[in-house]
Structure 1
Amino acid sequence: MSHHHDTNPHFLPRPRDPVLEFPSQTPPRRSRPPSRHHVRAPVVVDVPPHGQTSSPHHPSHVKPVAPFVVEAPHQPHHGSRPHSESQTHPPHHPTNIKPVAPFVVEAPHQGGRRPHGLIHAPTSQRTKPVTWLVGAMCMLFWILVIVGGLIVLIVYLVFRPHSPWFDISTATINAAYLDMGYLLNADVTVLANFSNPNTKVKVDFSYAILDLYIDNKFIVTSYIPGFAVMRGESRFANVHMVASQVALSTAQSMQLQKQIEQGRMKVDIKGLFKARSKLGGIFHYSYWMYAHCQLLLSGPPTGVLIRKKCVTKK
């Protein structure tokens, strides 16, 4: 249909005629409703404990969780809203995100059993009086140990105690002969020397015995009464040992007879002592001492000491 002007005057509108307007038959375009994006929460897989398996078609440890919905903001469509309306409403941050209740992921329980409820917060417990008492006793014990160690260290540094030692000053063999070829009769005298090398410590001997051995054969023993050795001094004890009718073996008899003929007799003296050291007038401690002396004597009846070797230890 052309839009040129009509030249017929009968079709021209007159000023008094009304003007009729017809609405447009084309319906207005509607804006697209806002779309909602339904986002489902991920499915949490409860891993079974070590050593247990589940069916691949029916997993028993899969727990669905309630979905949560996030609404996206309305996006303007071109052409659906007038240009003026899009300019009057400035863009803003989305505020229509609906919070959903949180979901709980249950950890696998060892042993194949599930916990009866959720994880509970630890409850405060009061310490029992017995625990406090045991702790106090342990602390007191360690304090006593530390204090005792310090006292012992200080006393040792002040007194510097040393162990006494034993020695044989002289020895004589008055008689040694075999009766019936295997019964020994002997008479030996030794001068024992007990020395105290300490200048601040006194030593008391409450128990002292000496044993005589010939060719590793026990012959006789002798007891020494208790005595005290002052600081830095030595105490001598004359010990007389007599053996009568001591049976020897054939080899021992032959060996002893050979030594008597050669004029060289080997004798062993072994001692056992119980000593006590006094540190000042308060502290003291007791201990055992062992002594071993190897003697070489000349032949009887005037046998004298030729050589010796003594060792003393605790």
Structure 2
Amino acid sequence: MRHHPETNPYFYSQQHSQLPAPTPTPQHQSPQHQEPHPQAEPSGMTPPQSQDQIHPTTPWIWPPTQRPTIPPPKAEPLGQWGALVPQGTDGSAPKTQSTHSQAQELAPHSPPRHTGSQATQPPKHQRHRRQQSPREQQAHQRSYFGLAPRRTKLHTWFLAGFCAIFWLVIILGGLIVLIVYLVFRPHSPSFEVSSVTLNAAYLDVDVLLNADLTVLAKFINPNRKVRVDFSYVVLDLYYGNTLIASQYIEPFRAERRQIRLANVHMVASQVQLPSDETERLKREIERNKIEFQVKGVFRARSNLGSFLRYSYRLYGHCAIEVTDPPGGVLRAVKCKTKR
């Protein structure tokens, strides 16, 4: 059986390490005996073909590549910094050589690297990287600088939900109140004094007041769609700043657009007055014009329907002017009602 010699230079160097070193092929061989090598590199150089390569006994070695010589750059004046630049023996700047060139000089017979589609492809980190949107770029920058959003805690979510529900209730309540106001147009009732009769008024021992007064009170409900209930009504009679009589009125109801009248009998007995008010009462009796004040405190409730009800408190104040007793009548009155 015929033994075929090994043609791979790497296996050949290991198996036939005892053979003598091959002699390089002369470079001045005639080009007519050269044929293109089937595995020629894209550099354009064609290895020679001979009888030894058909049945090789020694590996073929590529000849050294001749690189073009680049002339050194012209030296330019550097001024005062020229002394810092190292110079060669002839006064010129030292020649530098890249690491790649030095490696090729140290190993001139190393086989060239294969270049193909891998050299034209982009790097791996750019090949699998898609184009990021502006939002993703912003998030990447925030995470790079330590500004990435953190996970929200449970109590924060609970507080936010409570605030949202609270404001939602307030907004809905405000809308309901607005709708009710626009539909019913509720107004507060008012208090007035229709007529007054002064039966008696005199001073006992010049300091004690005795008076008998009848007041016709009027309660007005101006609403067309709202009914008002008066659950607490108290009228007080004042002379100056002194309370001389007080009367309670039974609860009653004022229907829509209704006026209720109440006849209130008020009696003051042995009420001591200050000296200045005593002197003023004497002067008013002489002039036939006595001034009193009627103040009322009311608790009312407006009924807008079967379920819509709200209560409030009213304060009435009337300044009245009557003639001398007996049979004193009302001469002037001024009333106002407020909540």
Structure having the larger proportion of residues in helix: 2
Looking at structure 1, the residues matched to 157 and 176 of structure 2 have their Cα atoms a distance apart, in angstroms, of: 29
Deviation at 1:263, TM superposition (A): 2.1
Is structure 2 residue 205 aligned with structure 1 residue 147?
A: no
Is structure 2 residue 292 aligned with structure 1 residue 267?
A: yes
Listed one character per residue, the Cα deviations across residues 214-244 of structure 1 (whole Å, up to 9, x for unaligned) are 1332212111222111111011111111111
CA spacing shift, 1:33–1:302, aligned 2, 3 Å: same
Q: Which amino acid aligns with 2:167?
A: W
Is structure 2 residue 238 aligned with structure 1 residue 213?
A: yes
Aligned to 1:121: 146
Is structure 2 residue 282 aligned with structure 1 residue 257?
A: yes
For residue 194 of structure 1, give the secondary structure of its aligned residue in structure 2. strand
Is structure 2 residue 284 aligned with structure 1 residue 247?
A: no
Looking at structure 2, the residues matched to 277 and 214 of structure 1 have their Cα atoms a distance apart, in angstroms, of: 33
For 1:1-314, list aligned pairs within 5 A: 121-314=146-339
Aligned to 1:15: none
Looking at structure 2, the residues matched to 72 and 263 of structure 1 have their Cα atoms a distance apart, in angstroms, of: 132
Q: Which amino acid aligns with 2:324?
A: G
Aligned to 2:54: none
For residue 148 of structure 1, give the secondary structure of its aligned residue in structure 2. helix
For residue 186 of structure 2, give the secondary structure of its aligned residue in structure 1. coil
Deviation at 1:163, TM superposition (A): 1.0
Q: Which amino acid aligns with 1:191?
A: L
CA spacing shift, 1:72–1:248, aligned 2, 3 Å: farther
For residue 141 of structure 1, give the secondary structure of its aligned residue in structure 2. helix
Q: For the Cα contact (< 8 Å) 1:182–1:248, is it kept in 2?
A: yes
Aligned length: 207
CA spacing shift, 1:35–1:137, aligned 2, 3 Å: farther
CA spacing shift, 1:72–1:133, aligned 2, 3 Å: farther
Q: Which amino acid aligns with 1:188?
A: L
For residue 175 of structure 2, give the secondary structure of its aligned residue in structure 1. helix
For residue 132 of structure 1, give the secondary structure of its aligned residue in structure 2. helix
CA spacing shift, 1:124–1:309, aligned 2, 3 Å: closer
Structure 1: which 5+ runs fail to align?
1-29, 37-70, 74-118
CA spacing shift, 1:127–1:257, aligned 2, 3 Å: same
Q: Which amino acid aligns with 1:133?
A: F
Structure 2: which 5+ runs fail to align?
1-68, 76-95, 99-143
Looking at structure 1, the residues matched to 236 and 212 of structure 2 have their Cα atoms a distance apart, in angstroms, of: 13
For residue 223 of structure 2, give the secondary structure of its aligned residue in structure 1. coil
Deviation at 1:294, TM superposition (A): 1.1
Aligned to 1:67: none
Q: Which amino acid aligns with 2:332?
A: R
CA spacing shift, 1:35–1:164, aligned 2, 3 Å: farther
Q: Which amino acid aligns with 2:233?
A: A
Looking at structure 2, the residues matched to 157 and 204 of structure 1 have their Cα atoms a distance apart, in angstroms, of: 22
Structure having the larger proportion of residues in strand: 1
**TM-score (structure 2 length as normaliser):** 0.57
Coordinate RMSD, CA, aligned: 2.6
For residue 326 of structure 2, give the secondary structure of its aligned residue in structure 1. coil
Looking at structure 2, the residues matched to 189 and 123 of structure 1 have their Cα atoms a distance apart, in angstroms, of: 82
Q: For the Cα contact (< 8 Å) 1:211–1:220, is it kept in 2?
A: yes
Looking at structure 2, the residues matched to 167 and 268 of structure 1 have their Cα atoms a distance apart, in angstroms, of: 12
Q: Which amino acid aligns with 1:262?
A: R
For residue 224 of structure 2, give the secondary structure of its aligned residue in structure 1. coil
CA spacing shift, 1:255–1:123, aligned 2, 3 Å: closer
Looking at structure 2, the residues matched to 216 and 166 of structure 1 have their Cα atoms a distance apart, in angstroms, of: 21
Looking at structure 1, the residues matched to 305 and 184 of structure 2 have their Cα atoms a distance apart, in angstroms, of: 9
**TM-score (structure 1 length as normaliser):** 0.61
Q: Which amino acid aligns with 1:218?
A: L
CA spacing shift, 1:146–1:124, aligned 2, 3 Å: closer
Q: For the Cα contact (< 8 Å) 1:200–1:280, is it kept in 2?
A: no
